[in-house]
Copies of this chain bind each other. A is one copy, B any other.
Amino acid sequence: MLGAIHNKVELSSQELSSLLQTSQQTASRYLLELDTQQMVTRELGVKKQLIQITSTGAEVLRKEYLSYEQVFNLPSKVVFKGTVVSGMGEGKYYTEQKGYAEQFKTQLGFVAYPGTFNVEIEYVERNKLRLLRDCGGIQISEFEAENRTFGGVICFKAAINGKEGAVVLPKRSHYATTLECISPFHLRETLGVRDGDVVEVAVFLR
C-alpha cells in the first residue's frame, strides 16, 4: 500500500512496525523473511533500507486479490474436479425419453448422446453445487409418459475437459455428490477416459 509494487520505497523496520502495530524486532524479522523468500528485494543503507516487492511477491499478492474477487463477485463459471464413475444405466433410460430429449434439443441446442456421464466430486465441493442451484439455470419441465411423471430438472451448459455439454441437476434431492453430464458426444470415448480418471467440469452460470 506504500507503493512498493511500483517502486523502491524507503521503509525502516521501525516504520513498518508502527504500521503493523508490532515491535521493531518483529518487523525486522518480517523483512528478513520476505527477503529470504524472494518476496522483496532490499537495499540496506546505513540509516534506511529500500524495499521493493519482487515479481514473485506481486504474483502472490495478485492471487490473494483474485481470491477476494471470487468472494464478492459471483463468477461466470464454476470449475469442479472429480472422478469418472459409472451410473446404474438409469441415465440411458432417462435421456432417451422424448420428453427430456426434445427439451434438451431446444433449450441446450444439441441432441444428447444417450446416457449420462457421471462425475463424482469432493464432499467439500457440494457447497459450490448449492451455489449453482441459486443461480437459476435452464429449466426443463416435468412431463407425463409411460403412465408416470418424469420430474423437472435444472441444466447448466458446461465443458467437460473442454468438450461441449451440460450438467443436469434434479429439482429434488439436493444432496448429491455426483454431477450428471450430457453432451452431443459420447464423452467416455471422445475424451478417452474410464472409471477413476480425473476430469474437469466447467459449469457456466449465465
- A→B interface (CB under 8 Å): 1-7, 9-11, 15, 18-19, 61-62, 64-65, 67-72, 74, 123-124, 126-128, 130-131, 134
Contacts and interface: CB of A to CB of B under 8 A. Distances in A.
14 contacts: A1-B70, A2-B131, A5-B72, A6-B74, A6-B131, A7-B130, A7-B134, A10-B126, A11-B124, A15-B123, A61-B71, A61-B72, A65-B65, A65-B68
Nearest to A70: B1
A72 B62 contact: yes
Contacts of A10: 126-127, 130
Those 9 A-B pairs whose CB atoms lie nearest each other, nearest first: A65-B68, A3-B131, A2-B127, A9-B127, A15-B124, A1-B70, A3-B127, A1-B71, A5-B71
